[in-house]
Amino acid sequence: MAAAECPVVLATGTPARRAVPSRARGREAQPVTSVFRAALGEDAFSRLHPMLQRRFDVRLGGEACVGTGVMTQIRRGPSWTVPFLQIGRMRNILIPDVGENVPFRIDNRPYLDPFGRETVTFVREYVIGGKRRRFDATMILSDGRVVDYLGTHQHLAVDLDLSVQDDGSLLLRSGAQRFHEGPVSFRFPMSLSGRATLRERFDDADGRFHIDLEVHNDRFGSLFGYRGSFTSEWMPAGPVPPHLLPLRHEPRV
């Protein structure tokens, strides 16, 4: 999925090893519920399509999920947005490319981060124009809300608002965004960023998950978007492959 909360101005950070520090390894955290179930609440979660319930119930002590499919369309805004998207690409946030029928994979894997927080990866990988691209996000639960850390270094923390639609689909909207790097921490101005809206549904007719993302700036219009479908494979939650982890974990939300 999505992630779904996509600023267009970024800053660099200090690389670190892709590994969960040893103090987070071996903990016996077995949460009662998943990040998304807790954020939505039992009543709303139960109104999701059963396949979406399974997909968004990824958690420690439960299942992980890997989806493979095709983006029927990856689009972006006017040409002046390309430099900003290129900056984002350096941290695996957004991509500057456009295309149709683009193969992709999404890894949703739960793990305990160095600060003891259950985290779920949303790592999307594309092959577009012969190039491999990634769009990285990791999600936690904080004060009853999903917070989405974007990119390889978790510089940007984005509040997500979730709602279940009448057809059992999940609607996700991005909210406030905060930038964290070293001693610097501030609320990211929305005039320089984008608000994301993502809808995910399951179609019983074709047995596939369908996603549609639009990132929009209130002043400049459409910045980025995609539409596609995929199938999912579930497996017991276990160690996360190191290449799917952030290079740096951010304690601030």
Average pLDDT over residues 15-20: 43
> Between 21 and 207, where is the model more confident?
207
Average pLDDT over residues 151-174: 97
* Coil, strand or helix at 188: coil
Based on DSSP, count helices (H) and strands (E) in the chain, helices before strands.
4, 14
* Amino acid 80: pLDDT: 79
Per-residue b or e along 190-220, where b marks 16 or more CB atoms closer than 10 Å to that residue's CB = beebbbbbbbbbbeeeeebbbbbbbbbbeee
Class of CATH domain 30-233:
mainly beta
> Do residues 124 and 105 make contact, with C-beta atoms less than 8 angstroms apart?
yes
21, two tokens = 């520090």
pLDDT beyond 60 at 20: no
> Do residues 246 and 138 make contact, with C-beta atoms less than 8 angstroms apart?
yes
Average pLDDT, the chain: 88
CA neighbours within 13 Å on the CB side: how many for 98? 10
- Phi-psi label, residue 54: left if phi above 0, alpha if psi -120 to 50, beta otherwise: alpha
pLDDT beyond 80 at 249: yes
* Amino acid 130: pLDDT: 87
User: Residue 42: in which H helix or E strand, if any?
Assistant: helix 42-46
pLDDT beyond 50 at 24: no
Scan for tokens 């779920």, then name that residue: 120
> Do residues 8 and 152 make contact, with C-beta atoms less than 8 angstroms apart?
no
Query: How do residues 237-246 score in pLDDT, each as one tens digit?
Result: 999 999 999 9
Q: For the residues of 99-135, what is the DSSP string, one character each?
A: BSSEEEEEEE-EEE-TTS-EEEE-EEEEEETTEEEEE
* Amino acid 32: pLDDT: 61
Give the percent of the chain with pLDDT over 90.
Answer: 71
Query: How do residues 163-194 score in pLDDT, each as one tens digit?
Result: 999 999 999 999 999 999 999 999 988 887 88
* Amino acid 111: pLDDT: 98
The CA-based dihedral angle spanning residues 143, 146, 206, 228, taken in that order and rounded to the nearest 10 degrees: 170
* Amino acid 44: pLDDT: 99
* Amino acid 92: pLDDT: 86
Question: What's the pLDDT band for 129 if we cut at 50, 70, 90?
Answer: confident
pLDDT beyond 90 at 39: yes
Average pLDDT over residues 11-21: 40
77, two tokens = 């805004």
Q: What sign does the dihedral 7-108-44-38 (CA atoms) show? A: negative
Helix %, strand %, coil % of the chain (to 5): 15, 45, 40
> Between 218 and 137, where is the model more confident?
137
Residue 184 CB partners (closer than 8 Å, separation 6+): none
Question: What's the pLDDT band for 27 if we cut at 50, 70, 90?
Answer: very low
pLDDT beyond 70 at 19: no
> Between 90 and 128, where is the model more confident?
128
Nearest-angstrom CA–CA distance, 64 and 238: 8
Nearest-angstrom CA–CA distance, 50 and 7: 32
